[in-house]
Amino acid sequence: MKLSDRKIIEFLWKSPVKTFNAILDTLMYLDGQWIWQDLEYELFNEALGDNPDEKISIRIPNIKSIPANSLLNLTRHLCEFQLVRRRVRDVIDPIDQSNELVVFYELTPIGKELLKLFEAIEKAKEKIPT
C-alpha cells in the first residue's frame, strides 16, 4: 500500500482524535513501544467465549491530555489504516523465569512516512510567525 493524499485525508477525516498534535504524539509514542498486557488471559477467554464484552485491559500511557478511550480508539484506527501493526512476543521474566506475552506496537513503513510528513508539517508551523 502506498501513502497518498486521498489516504491521508480519509485517515484524518475518520480519526477518532481530531487534534493534529495528539495524532503526531501518538505516532511518535507508538513507534517501537512495548506494552505489557495479560494476553494469555485474554486469549483464553476469547477461545472459550467467556469474554462477551471483549474488554481489553492494558495500561495506556498518558499522552498530552488524550483520554485513554480516545487513545485506544486511535490505535485501532491506525491499525485499520495499516499505519501501525500490533505484534505479540513471548518474553521470559528474568526474576521468576516465567513466560509472559508482551504486546509490541510498531509503525509500518507507511506509518513511518506519515510520521515524517507530520513532523515536517510541525516544523513548518513553527517557522510561521504568529
Domain ranges of the chain: 5-127
Task: Give tens-digit pLDDT for 86-130.
Answer: 777 777 767 766 666 677 778 899 999 999 999 999 999 988 887
Which listed CATH number (1.10.10, 3.30.70, 3.40.190, 1.10.287) goes with 5-127? 1.10.10
What secondary structure, in 3-state letters, does the chain show? CCCCHHHHHHHHHHCCCCCHHHHHHHHHHHCCEEEEECHHHHHHHHHHCCCCCCCCCECCCCCCCCCHHHHHHHHHHHHHCCCEEEEEEEEECCCCCCEEEEEEEEECHHHHHHHHHHHHHHHHHHHCCC
Task: Give tens-digit pLDDT for 8-67.
Answer: 999 999 999 988 888 998 888 888 676 665 555 555 555 555 555 655 555 556 676 678
